[in-house]
Chain A
């Protein structure tokens, strides 16, 4: 694998992890606000 490809894979992996974590936290927020009856868009 070339140096550029290695760098690109590392950067994309990192961005992907942050995107996935954000999705997981947003899903938790949606699940909690639905349980508690709070409108999640109100914040």
Chain B
């Protein structure tokens, strides 16, 4: 039954209607969680013993860095789905992740750099994690250029799908760079396997900020995908009647 739902979701009119119902929830969730997360990050969480006040930048930096990788993973999933099934929905979802992912990557780099100056003493260093994150930004920009430079969208989809999957190799390199190499960037503060090095209130606030960022990014990507889908399908009957 669940797989049947996903098969039905690949139909453009079903996708348009289902995501139309999801959007208000995602936007509301993002605004509420964002307000709570910001309030807690600025006024509730204690000052860090080592870094002082500037550590609060991490409540913005960590969620944007995670979203930069997550959005690429989701784009790759849709790229793989598109190469197999060639549906319009998979193509627009793959394309819609790219601009938001690029923005999140740029934000992660800028906020990390602003945090790095008082903490590390420099805005930038060619550290493995920073370099692979910068490479991710270039990959995003390259894919956006490929997506927008070629006129025939349907012909480009396949090329974009292959390129997106090739770029996927960069994601584990970013994630495991602090394990593979001796980097200036610290290791993971949160671990799925072991305990956390963070105080509970800091961890809760970080997760609230992550979920706020996730719902905001999901809302933007889904909204973009819906209108791109409608543009693509404008000759079809459902597109003309969907909002009638």
Q: Which residues of A are in contact with B by a Cβ distance under 8 Å?
A: 1, 3-4, 6-7, 9-11, 13-14, 17-18, 20-22, 24-25, 28-29, 31-33, 35-39, 42-43
Contact = CB atoms under 8 A, between A and B. Distances in A.
Given A14-B64, A21-B100, A29 B227 contact: yes
In the complex, the 6 A-B pairs of residues with the closest C-beta atoms, listed nearest first: A3-B53, A3-B54, A10-B111, A32-B231, A42-B243, A32-B227
Interface stretch (B114-122, B126-134, B137-145, B178-186): B114-122
A4 B52 CA distance: 11
A22 B61 CA distance: 20
Contact of B57 (A7, A21, A38): A7
A13 B57 contact: no
Q: Size class of B's contact patch? A: 35 or more
B112 to A, nearest CB: 10
Interface stretch (B82-90, B148-156, B199-207, B234-242): B234-242
B242 A4 contact: no
Interface of B: 20, 38, 42, 52-54, 56-57, 60-61, 64, 99-100, 103, 106-107, 110-111, 114-115, 117-118, 216, 220, 223-224, 227-228, 230-231, 234, 239-240, 242-244
Contacts of B234: 32, 35-36
Contacts of A37: 240
A42 B244 CA distance: 8
Contacts of A25: 220, 223-224, 227
Given A3-B118, A6-B117, A32-B227, 9 more contacts: A7-B53, A18-B216, A21-B99, A21-B220, A22-B220, A24-B99, A32-B234, A36-B239, A42-B244
A38 B243 contact: yes
Contacts of A1: 114, 117-118
B219 to A, nearest CB: 9
A31 B54 CA distance: 42
Contact of B42 (A7, A22, A39): A7
Nearest to B111: A10
Contacts of A10: 57, 60-61, 110-111, 114-115
